[in-house]
């Protein structure tokens, strides 16, 4: 499990809890928990440690040896402690891993963009499907 931790994004802010492998697809699922003790709301720059709730983000990541990799990241929602802020609850961000609301990791997005620029939509889509990614030509 320690070896797998080194291949995955941002080991400083994420801790690998467990993983499981589906032989039928092949597909590796890795479950992470955020290790950040506080989070800052980007709009008002207020930092908070007061946890509201937790939820799980699902992110597609780079394939490993033609095996699809999905990250399930358990992140927290915090109360914003700034009384003038319009948003009372915000979700912690992990900018080195994925953009807010993204379904793919930043490193996967970068690689898909490179395929799209080099090959175009249809040809790029065909190649990335053979490499184990799920993406359409219009996404590239």
Q: What is the domain partition of the chain in residue ranges? A: 2-36+52-74+96-130
Query: From CA 61, how far away is CA 136, in angstroms rounded?
Result: 16
* Cα maximum dimension of the chain: 52
Its pTM stands at 0.84
Span 88-114, pLDDT tens digits:
999 999 988 999 999 999 999 999 999
Query: From CA 117, how far away is CA 124, in angstroms rounded?
Result: 8
- In this prediction, residue 13 carries a pLDDT of 84
Indicate the pLDDT class of residue 2, thresholds 50, 70 and 90: low
Span 29-60, pLDDT tens digits:
999 999 888 999 988 999 999 999 999 999 99
Residue 7 has pLDDT above 80, yes or no: no
């Amino acid at each position: 499990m320690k070896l797998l931790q080194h291949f995955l994004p941002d080991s400083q802010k994420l801790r690998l809890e467990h993983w499981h492998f589906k032989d039928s697809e092949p597909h590796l699922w890795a479950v992470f928990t955020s290790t950040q003790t506080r989070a800052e709301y980007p709009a008002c720059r207020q930092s908070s440690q007061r946890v509201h709730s937790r939820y799980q983000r699902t992110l597609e990541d780079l394939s490993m040896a033609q095996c699809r990799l999905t990250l399930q990241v358990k992140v927290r929602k915090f109360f914003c402690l700034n009384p003038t802020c319009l948003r009372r609850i915000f979700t912690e961000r992990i900018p080195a891993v994925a953009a807010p609301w993204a379904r793919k990791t930043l490193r996967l997005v970068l690689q898909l963009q490179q395929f799209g620029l080099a090959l175009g939509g249809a040809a790029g889509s065909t190649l990335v499907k053979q490499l184990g990614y799920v993406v359409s030509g219009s996404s590239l």
